Amino acid sequence: MNGVNHLLYHCMKQRPSRHTRRVLVGLRSSALYERCCSDLEQRGKRPLKRLRPLGVLCCHMHSLADLAKLRRHPDIAFVEQDVRIRAHGWCQRFGKCKKQGRGRAWKPRITWNIKRVQAPQVWRATRGGPVRVAILDTGIAKHPDLRVWGGVNTIGGSSYQDFNGHGTHVAGIAAAIGDCGQLAGVAPRARLYAVKSLNRDGFGYISDIIEGILWCIDQRMNIINMSLGIPPDLNSPSFRKAVRLAVKQGLIITASAGNNGRNSGGIDAPARYPGTIAVAATTRRNRIASFSSRGRGIDVSAPGENILSTSLHCGYQVMSGTSMAAPHVAGGAALLLALHPKLSPAAISQVLKRTARQLRGAGPRAQGAGLIQLRRAARLVIRTARKTSSYNRRD
């Protein structure tokens, strides 16, 4: 059988065409991966992306026959199509920013959804700083109510500015600063980072998302919010592997369940992957939103219908979707982590589920443990921190 280096060289195409497709190729060992990369470079071929920590190459392949050969090779762990992934939200109404004079006191405008998750009742103890929250989305636009500490573009470019609006809206829910009487997010002092992995239409490839996750690991983010997903019928070994690595490295991942409603047949990935916090969407009447996907694996719920948050051009807009629910949990996790920095992703998830409020008329396949209640969660975390401190003093 041909060596994997030789096979990859002949299957890989340097440029895309109507006859090629983007694929992800996973090698069985890091040594094989390094050898393949070195050999391909010496022979003048460069993969589209190198996802080194996963031992995965993203490249253009020409035919189904080539893919079949690769799948049969004993040194290849998997070959999958690099499918497009979509954001989980849509715009309903747009409004301009009302500029207000600066005052000495911090008196933000608090919307119903921020109150519903009990965020303001935690702000006396913490507002989320200096926890680092990465918004893996369409980027984050410049806005007076958002402070972005850094970011990256994984879709080809150097700017992480948002030209869609989805990422900016999500960022505002998680951590809008609320100065000058403007809107406050769940964790107003959390440090926002923009990971632009979706384009101006709200789409990106799985390889772009994975590259964003690997950047978050490398830059030591504390929390990743992914308000996006692939349908339940699609399987991605590389995506699952990237999420597993991030969780193993101690990152908290919040992910939207999907917008396919009661007949969804399950929740989207990465929400359905182990280790993530899968979030369903609720309404102002404390019901599960009709569009929110149902299925096994939902952990908690948060407001996701008619949510007002930051938008492009320094404005505000109303959007709906499980995309809007997930950043409530990301911001909530930032508050809890600020109170007790040593909490693991599993511990944060457990606290949120133990303190959630069960909603009437919906089972666990729709709401998980229920609507997050951050005041309850913060009290539990503070008690845990005191017990830990007491044990340490005894030792």
Domain ranges of the chain: 4-82, 88-383
- For residues 350 and 153, give the distance between their C-alpha atoms in angstroms, rounded to a whole number: 33
The residues assigned a catalytic role are 137, 166, 323
d(CA 287, CA 275): 26
pLDDT higher than threshold 60 for residue 199? yes
61-75, 133-147, 150-164, range with the lowest pLDDT:
61-75
For residue 64, give both structure tokens.
């189904």
pLDDT on residue 19: 77
The confidence score (pLDDT) of residue 20 equals 85
Q: Which phi and psi (to 5°) does residue 92 adopt? A: -115, -35
pLDDT of 394 reads: 53
Statement: 88-383 belongs to CATH 3.40.50.200: yes
Q: Kindly state the percentage of the chain with pLDDT values over 90.
A: 78
What is the mean pLDDT of the segment spanning 266-281? 97
- Asked if residue 184 has pLDDT above 90, the reply is yes
- Is residue 112 scored above 90 in pLDDT? yes
- CATH class for the region spanning 4-82: alpha beta
Give the Cα separation of 395 and 393 in Å (integer). 5
Are 344 and 250 contacting, i.e. CB atoms less than 8 angstroms apart? yes
Q: Is the peptide bond before 303 cis (omega within 30 degrees of 0)?
A: no
* Cα distance between residue 265 and residue 272, in whole Å: 12
Please state, in angstroms and rounded to a whole number, the distance separating the CA atoms of residues 282 and 287.
5
**β partners of residue 58:** 24, 49
For residue 91, the model assigns a pLDDT of 62
Identify which of 149, 139, 203 has the alpha carbon closest to the alpha carbon of residue 170.
139
- pLDDT above 80: residue 265: yes
| Burial environment of residue 353 by CB neighbours within 10 A (0 to 12, 13 to 18, 19 or more) | middle
- Position 104 pLDDT exceeds 60: no
| pLDDT number for residue 390 | 54
Task: Kindly state the tokens that stand for 337.
Answer: 């982590």
88-383: same fold as 4-82?
no
Chain mean pLDDT for the chain: 92
Helices (H) and strands (E) in the chain, counts: 11, 18
What's the rounded mean pLDDT across residues 85-100? 66
- pLDDT of 2: 60
Mean pLDDT, range 289-315, rounded to an integer? 96
Question: What pLDDT does residue 376 have?
Answer: 97
Write the burial class of residue 17 (CB in 10 Å: 0-12 exposed, 13-18 middle, 19+ buried). Answer: exposed
